[in-house]
Amino acid sequence: MLEVSANVWNVGDEDFADDEIYFEIYSKELGINKILSFDSGLDSMEKQNFVYSIKLPLNLTEKSYKLQLSVLDDNQDVMQNKEDDKSQTTVLVNVGKCIIPAQASINATLSDQTPEVKVGGEVVINTVITNTGIASATYTVSVFGADFAEVSEIDPTTFTLAAGESKDVSIYLNINSDAKVGNKEFTIRAVSGQSVSEQKIKLAVQEGFSANGLVDHFKNNWIVYLIVLVNIILVIAIISVVVRIVNKSD
């Protein structure tokens, strides 16, 4: 991107209406031919500033390019003063190596294989990485901020995408056995060179059947299990008595 900033002074004694004077930015090599209007003309001894951004062509050769700045009349001819001096100047634009930043979009959903996120369980996140830039780029995918889980696998971790191309990535998380129930958040990151794209993901963690969860469950419901155990013992005792009576009858 090239930004041109120029001040145009009317050092003569004539005023110009907005349809009598124009500002031209021109470069054949850079493919620039832009004519700009003055806001409300240009009076004698008045100044107007122009700031204009121009998108340069891709794959330019690293060198200096000529950029011509001119003030035109209503016939699109370069204006001149009484001494025939043209209202025109040429500046050099130095073009160096252009580094095109990589860009990516990240979309993630829970896999149908693991539609629920439970304490102590595994969850699979189906992720689609799309290269939204204008050039091919190599991405590395990672996960951070998932302190409630352990990342067991990211498949694939690194890959190259052409512009507009997408890649399916599977992220496997093992939810910690001591994870708290509730909404959790982590971030999926795709890095290409100095460019970083991120997407925050929210998961609703539910109760599971981890060892700690089972212990807590028994602690909170021990009376129920005691009653069940007593009933089982009573049933076994009654069956034993019946069996003895039947044996005596025989």
**pTM: predicted TM-score of the whole model, two decimal places:** 0.52
- Distance CA(131)–CA(106), nearest Å, equals 9
Cα 220 from chain centre:
45
Q: Which tokens sit at 212? A: 């700690």
E strand spans, 116-216: 117-118, 122-131, 137-144, 149-155, 158-161, 166-175, 182-192, 195-206
Would the CATH topology of 2-95 be identical to that of 104-206? Answer: yes
Q: What is the pLDDT of residue 117?
A: 93
Element (H, E) at 164: none
CATH number of 104-206: 2.60.40.10
Q: Tell me: the pLDDT tens digits for 142-189?
A: 999 999 999 999 999 999 999 999 999 999 999 999 999 999 999 999
**Which whole-number Å values give the CA distances from 247 to 108, 173, 211, 237, 250, in the listed order?**
68, 59, 45, 15, 5
**Residue 16 contacts residue 71 (beta carbons within 8 Å):** no
CATH architecture of the domain 2-95 equals: Sandwich (2.60)
Q: Tell me: the pLDDT tens digits for 69-111?
A: 999 999 989 998 777 788 999 999 888 776 667 789 999 999 9
Q: What is the pLDDT of residue 236?
A: 83
**Residue 143 contacts residue 154 (beta carbons within 8 Å):** yes
The residue extents of the domains of the chain are: 2-95, 104-206, 211-249
Q: What is the pLDDT of residue 133?
A: 87
